[in-house]
């Protein structure tokens, strides 16, 4: 979680992708970056969205139309260290690249199918002619393997949207086919947004020891992801103190997710329905992003390292066993000794709680099945974070340059602003307790 070379490279690549997208407009760039990397806003311009662990698809201007080319294909995807799978996605990634355009744009999508079965793309929540809606069999013929289809329409709205197949949908979404589709308002933002993040929620049944997500699972998923990554592989989000941050969150998983941000009260400012009028906004600290919905959360950044996660306890864990006996409070000493005679290396766990799981796995006491990450991971400045899945950190600093997305390392709290130990005696003090 400190700055690594990989993160530096990834950060630089993110900026380059944004630049490439702008360069690809052939002089139609409505937003640009200054030499210092500061995003500037021109009339009709926008600050480019950043997709943590992901990227934005460059387009070409062809006769006044923004032309994007999506390729549906099988990919090798890494969810986090020690967990890879054969997934399906677009242009080499899951989620597919983020589509970014402006209200009023004429857009064309070339969709090439390199899968072994047919597919389509549905532009989720986008207002368009019925024949462009991408429902295989209903609005168009299926796109057969090897074929390329063209979709073309004019964007009549703005907001946070998504795209996904509407063909063999249960399978194709379960194995990773999805992406974000951001449309900026044509008149710009009423309030400038300094850092605009796009995050797509998903769940995966990648059973321990296997390499292909299982599409037939209804409830017991193994991995819970932001942009198809689990903590601690999810990029840190960064902002400078006082900046306006927007988290655009879409959900194409099979569960609703109560998304929680520490340190601030955010405003829910938009959804698939576009930017909400001021009177419709709500102040919250947790917002449920339902299946098939998107939500925009905005706040003014305050300094610190702040957790940002789904509030479902199992959704901030990696692959874990289900339906195991509950060991909490059970004296396992004698049983463990006897089991060890049959299973050398067996280690009892969970008598006092499950926090020891991360220590055990880090010491190598639990080897675990192949291609499977531990349930709890991540190390912070004060010890194990004991998290996984839909969790990452928002790091806000006073001295960040605008547009600098590199991980600034851990927060150093000012004196007297950190919780500290005052006694190691369990009988300490005279706490009032209910009898």
Site residues for Cu ion per CB under 5 A: 257, 310, 312, 315
Closer CB to Cu ion, 119 or 253, in the complex = 253
Closer CB to Cu ion, 11 or 228, in the complex = 228
CB of 51 to Cu ion, least distance (A): 19
What is the rounded CA–CA span in Å between residue 216 and residue 205?
A: 8
Closer CB to Cu ion, 15 or 312, in the complex = 312
CB of 260 to Cu ion, least distance (A): 10
CB 380 within 8 A of CB 413: no
What is the rounded CA–CA span in Å between residue 99 and residue 363?
A: 43
What is the rounded CA–CA span in Å between residue 263 and residue 306?
A: 6
CB of 54 to Cu ion, least distance (A): 19
What is the rounded CA–CA span in Å between residue 203 and residue 226?
A: 9
Task: Write the CA distances from 277 to 45, 57, 270, 406, 412, integer angstroms.
Answer: 21, 30, 9, 33, 38
Closer CB to Cu ion, 312 or 320, in the complex = 312
CB of 84 to Cu ion, least distance (A): 23
What is the rounded CA–CA span in Å between residue 130 and residue 224?
A: 33
Closer CB to Cu ion, 315 or 395, in the complex = 315
Angle at 69 between CA 63 and CA 72, to 5 degrees: 160
Closer CB to Cu ion, 102 or 247, in the complex = 247
Closer CB to Cu ion, 1 or 310, in the complex = 310
What is the rounded CA–CA span in Å between residue 90 and residue 16?
A: 19
CB of 226 to Cu ion, least distance (A): 10
Closer CB to Cu ion, 159 or 389, in the complex = 389
What is the rounded CA–CA span in Å between residue 355 and residue 417?
A: 26
* Residue 363: Cβ-neighbour burial (10 angstroms; 0-12, 13-18, 19+): exposed
Closer CB to Cu ion, 59 or 221, in the complex = 221
CB of 256 to Cu ion, least distance (A): 7
CB of 310 to Cu ion, least distance (A): 3
Sign of CA dihedral 269, 272, 274, 276: negative
Plot region of 176 (φ>0 → left; ψ -120 to 50 → alpha; else → beta)? left
CB of 410 to Cu ion, least distance (A): 26
CB 301 within 8 A of CB 240: yes
CB of 388 to Cu ion, least distance (A): 12
HSE (CB half, 13 Å, CA atoms) of 99? 33
CB of 230 to Cu ion, least distance (A): 12
Burial state string for 225-234 with b = 16 or more CB within 10 A and e = fewer than 16: bbbbbbbbbb
SS (H, E, C) 272-327: CCEECCHHHCEEECEEEECCCCEEEEEEECCCEEEEEEECCHHHHCCCCCCCCCCC
409 in helix, strand or coil?
A: coil
Q: Which two tokens stand for residue 90?
A: 């677009």
Closer CB to Cu ion, 184 or 315, in the complex = 315
Closer CB to Cu ion, 209 or 290, in the complex = 290
Max Cα distance, the chain (Å): 78
CB of 251 to Cu ion, least distance (A): 9
CB 237 within 8 A of CB 197: yes
What is the rounded CA–CA span in Å between residue 83 and residue 318?
A: 10
What is the rounded CA–CA span in Å between residue 300 and residue 246?
A: 9
């Amino acid at each position: 979680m400190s700055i690594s070379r990989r993160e530096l490279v990834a950060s630089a690549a993110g900026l380059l992708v944004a630049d490439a997208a702008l360069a690809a407009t052939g002089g139609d760039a409505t937003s640009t970056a200054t030499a210092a990397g500061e995003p500037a806003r021109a009339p009709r311009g926008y600050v480019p969205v950043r997709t943590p662990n992901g990227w934005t698809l460059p387009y070409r201007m062809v006769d006044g139309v923004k032309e994007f080319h999506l390729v549906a294909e099988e990919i090798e995807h890494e969810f986090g260290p020690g967990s890879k799978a054969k997934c399906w996605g677009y242009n080499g990634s899951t989620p597919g690249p983020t589509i970014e355009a402006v209200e009023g744009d004429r857009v064309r999508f070339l969709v090439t199918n390199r899968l072994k079965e047919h597919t389509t793309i549905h532009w989720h929540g986008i207002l368009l002619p019925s024949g462009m809606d991408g429902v295989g069999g209903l609005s168009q013929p299926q796109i057969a393997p090897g074929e390329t289809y063209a979709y073309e329409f004019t964007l009549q709205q703005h907001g946070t949207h998504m795209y996904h197949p509407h063909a063999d949908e249960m399978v194709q979404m379960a194995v990773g086919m999805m992406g974000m589709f951001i449309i900026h308002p044509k008149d710009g933002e009423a309030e400038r947004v300094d850092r605009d993040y796009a995050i797509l929620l998903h769940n995966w049944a990648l059973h321990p020891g296997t390499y292909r997500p299982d599409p037939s699972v209804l409830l017991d998923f193994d991995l819970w992801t932001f942009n198809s990554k689990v903590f601690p592989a999810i990029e840190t989000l960064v902002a400078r103190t006082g900046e306006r941050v927007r988290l655009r969150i879409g959900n194409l998983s099979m569960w609703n997710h109560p998304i929680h941000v520490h340190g601030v009260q955010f405003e829910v400012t938009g959804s698939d329905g576009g930017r909400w009028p001021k009177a419709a906004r709500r102040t919250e600290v947790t917002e449920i992003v339902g299946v098939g919905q998107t939500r925009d959360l905005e706040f003014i950044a305050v300094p610190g390292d702040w957790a940002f996660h789904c509030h479902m306890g199992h959704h901030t864990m990696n692959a874990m066993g289900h339906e195991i006996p509950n060991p909490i409070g059970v004296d396992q000493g004698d049983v463990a000794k006897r089991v060890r005679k049959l299973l050398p290396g067996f280690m009892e766990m969970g008598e006092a709680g499950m926090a020891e799981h991360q220590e055990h796995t880090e010491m190598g006491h639990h080897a675990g099945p192949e291609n499977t990450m531990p349930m709890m991971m991540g190390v912070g400045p004060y010890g194990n974070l004991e998290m996984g899945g839909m969790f990452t950190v928002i790091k806000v600093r006073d001295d960040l340059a605008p547009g600098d997305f590199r991980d600034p390392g851990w927060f150093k709290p000012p004196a007297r602003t950190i919780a500290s130990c005052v006694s190691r005696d369990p009988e300490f003090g005279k706490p009032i307790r209910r009898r």
